[in-house]
Amino acid sequence: MERFVDLAVSAILLAGLYATMAYGLGLIYGVLRVVNLAHGGVIMAGAYLGWVLHGSLGIDPYLSIPLVVLLSFGLGMAMYRVLVRHLPRGAAGGPASLLLLFGVWLVLRNVAYLLFTGNDQAIRTSYSTRSLLVLGTHVSVNRLAVLVIALVTPALLQLLLRHSHVGRAIRAVAQNADSCTLVGVDVERIYTLTFGIGTALAGLAGLLSATIFSFNPGFGSGELLKSFVVVVLGGLGSVLGTGVAALVLAVVEVFAILVLPSYLTSAVGFVMLVLVLVFRPGGLFGHRVLG
Amino acid sequence: MTPMLQVDAIDVFYGDIQVLYGLSLEVREGEIVTLLGSNGAGKTTTLRAVSGLRPPRAGDIRFRGQSLRDVPAAARCDLGIALVPEGRELWPMLTVRENLELGAYGKRARPSAPRNLERVFALFPRLAERQRQLAGSLSGGEQQMCAIGRALMSEPTLLMLDEPSLGLSPLLVDQVMRTVAELHASGMTILLVEQNLQKALEVAQRGTVIETGRVRLTGSAVELSGNPEIRAAYLGL
């Protein structure tokens, strides 16, 4: 029983992290129809950014969130303005944007190798090892903080998308861009903003991961793949669906430990991905374009 | 007085394919002008050129005397130009109300959005009833109302409608045409593309017939409906 509660708590905490990673990927694909393969690279960059801010400037990783989010937002907007804007979109542009963004990822990764070497790093704070008693099990303060942030982030995202002029415009651009132009929405500006927001979410996810896991410049590839699984499971663009899908993935992965040898548990997510693609290609909850 | 809208010898292309050849057209303030022609003649393309979605490669479009060449498409609704596109082109996964509110996204119209929303609801009470529904769940006629309502939210002075009666029952066609006449009576200038020639010539004052991207005929509605060629070619009389 104790082990069960333990695993359940881990799963929920992990789900928060997965969801945060996936929102950015899903948002960018939903609005721009571009698969952002650089997502993993930005997750890695977010981790190093937090590490540098903590290590050389002594900024607490949680206090550095606004800065990391802002910097990744800027990075995303720059990536869109300089590169992605010029690519063909949709089905025709698939290979071009995949290759280009994969290239961006390689560049980010190699810059990290140059600057930080390939050694594993981690963000260690005074409270890194502290834990609280929740439901009779010890939960690290770090993981709880990550969970809270992972719950607040989608709430803010949902608030932005539902109740602001810009958010409504983002959802509308995902559904019909020409009609947006007709009512005075600068569609290119919305694309830039969306790419910025999606990238900021990746940066945030990287920073949060760095407070829990160790990382090196190769960090982010597993995270990208898990983001894919969550986005496909959750159906595109539904914030709630993404959250639920992240929970499903985390629960299945964590509880697989009980029945599978540990080297197989990371394959569970991909088996799920294949099953969902075969049986429910619109995601677990049907197809919704940022509705 | 300079006309409200002057389309001056425009050439428009889709890729390498030329669709409009030196097409010219005028709409004066307070008029209803209808643009007629068979499928593929270039009616929709003309409206897309004016709205900026498909800028001309040659020629010029002037609105109240000002060339639109350097006015981006997204800035044209602030000048008072609105288009109700062919096939409605709503945002299906947004609610009716969100669709309408986004119609007032432009700087000029945003402050008066609440007032205009009331006006649209007064014009189309059905939309008020369905405001929380997703636009994609509306019937064809309701979607057309929503599309017209969205265009009205930007407080246009020139309203362009692209085949508003397409796919509607005769009863609804009459209702849409009545709405067009009402909007005109309230002072709006209207450029109407319509395949239902008879209906269009009933509400319009002038018409322009285009054929394969060129102007074929221009005249008053009375002249056009009396023209034997038009009667034979488009009215089947």
Looking at residue B34, which CATH number applies to its domain? 3.40.50.300
Cα–Cα distance for residue pair B186/B125, rounded to 1 Å: 18
Residue B167 has pLDDT above 70, yes or no: yes
Q: What is the ipTM of this complex?
A: 0.93
Please give the Cα distance from B198 to B164 (Å, whole number).
14
Q: What is the mean pLDDT of residues B106-111?
A: 94
CB A167: neighbour CB atoms within 10 A?
Answer: 18
Q: Match 């677990």 to its residue by tokens.
A: A284
Q: Residue A123 has what DSSP assignment? A: -
Q: How confident is the model at residue B91 (pLDDT cuts 50, 70, 90)?
A: very high
* CA-to-CA separations, B143 to A263, A288, B59, B127, in angstroms, rounded: 54, 19, 35, 9
Give the β-pairing of B189-193 and B32-36: parallel
Tell whether A81 lies on the interface with B, counting CB pairs under 8 A. Answer: no
Which residue, chain included where needed, has tokens 């608030």?
A159
DSSP string, B105-174: -STTTGGGHHHHHHHHHHH-HHHHHTTTSBGGGS-HHHHHHHHHHHHHTT--SEEEEE-TTTT--HHHHH
C-alpha distances (whole Å) from B5 to each of B63, B190, B200 are 5, 10, 19
Cα(A199)–Cα(B72) distance, integer angstroms = 28
Give which of B219, B143, B218, B221 is closest to B181, Cα–Cα.
B221
Which residues of chain A lie closer than 8 angstroms to B50, CB-CB?
none
Q: How far apart, in whole angstroms, are the C-alpha atoms of residue A51 and residue B175?
A: 65
Poorest-pLDDT segment among A130-144, B62-76, B196-210: A130-144
For residues A170 and A190, give the distance between their C-alpha atoms in angstroms, rounded to a whole number. Answer: 6
pLDDT value, residue A291: 45
Q: What is the pTM of this model?
A: 0.91
Q: Report whether B20 contacts B35 (CB < 8 A).
A: no
Helices B113-123 and B140-152 pack at an angle, to 10 degrees, of 150
CA distance A65 to B41: 57
The answer to whether residues A225 and A268 touch, using CB atoms and an 8 Å cutoff, is no
Q: What is the pLDDT of residue B43?
A: 95
Q: Strands across the sheet with B58-63, in order?
A: B17-27, B5-14, B58-63, B66-67
Name, in order, each residue with C-beta under 8 angstroms of A90's C-beta and a sequence gap of 6 or more: A33
Q: Does A286 touch chain B (CB under 8 A)?
A: no
Nearest to B214 by CA among B19, B38, B60: B19
Residues in chain B: 237
Burial class from Cβ neighbours inside 10 Å (0-12, 13-18, 19+) for residue B24 reads middle
Residue with tokens 């719950």, as numbered in its chain:
A151
| pLDDT at B40 (0 to 100) | 87
Identify the domain containing residue B219 by its residue range.
1-80+191-237
Structural domain contains residue B59: yes
Number of structural domains in chain B: 1
Size of interface A-B (CB pairs under 8 A): 76
Nearest to B74 among A168, A172, A186 (CB): A186
Would you state the pLDDT for residue A91? 57
Q: Is A288 in Cβ contact with B91 (below 8 Å)?
A: no
Kindly determine whether residue B154 and residue A184, on different chains, have CB atoms separated by under 8 Å. Answer: yes
Q: pLDDT by residue for chain A (291 residues), tens digit each?
A: 677 888 888 888 889 999 999 999 999 988 988 889 999 999 999 999 999 999 999 999 999 999 999 999 999 999 999 999 988 776 556 788 889 999 999 999 999 999 999 999 999 888 877 888 877 778 888 888 888 998 899 899 999 999 999 999 999 999 999 999 999 999 999 999 999 999 999 999 999 999 989 999 999 988 898 998 898 888 776 788 888 999 999 999 888 888 888 788 778 888 888 888 888 777 777 655 454
Measured between alpha carbons, how far is A156 from A164 in angstroms, rounded to an integer?
A: 11
Give residue A287's pLDDT.
53
Give the least confident one: A5-9, A87-91, B46-50, B212-216.
A87-91
Contact: A187, B85; criterion CB under 8 Å = no
Alpha-carbon distance of A49 to A45, in angstroms, equals 6
Task: Classify strands B32-36 and B17-27 as parallel, antiparallel or unpaired.
Answer: unpaired
**Pairwise pLDDT comparison (A156 vs B198), residue with the higher score:** A156
pLDDT at A182: 97
Number of other residues whose CB lies within 10 A of the CB of residue A35:
18
- Cβ-Cβ contacts under 8 Å, B85 against chain A: 178-179, 182
A60 exposure class (CB count in 10 Å sphere: 0-12, 13-18, 19+): middle
Residue type, B189: T
A-proximal residues of B, 200-219, CB under 8 Å: none
Beta bridge partners, B17, equal B14
Is residue A174 left, alpha or beta, with left meaning phi > 0 and alpha meaning psi from -120 to 50?
A: alpha
Number of Cβ within a 10 Å radius of residue A78 = 14
Q: What are phi and psi of B34, to 5 degrees?
A: -115, 145
CA triple A248-A251-A252, angle to 5 deg: 85
Nearest to B115 by CA among B94, B130, B100: B100
Is residue B134 assigned to a domain?
no
Residue B103, chain A, CB below 8 Å: the answer is yes
Q: How far apart are CA A122 and CA A129, in angstroms?
A: 13
Q: Closest CB to B102: pick one of A168, A288, A290.
A: A168
Please, are residues B150 and B99 in contact by the beta-carbon 8 Å criterion? Answer: yes
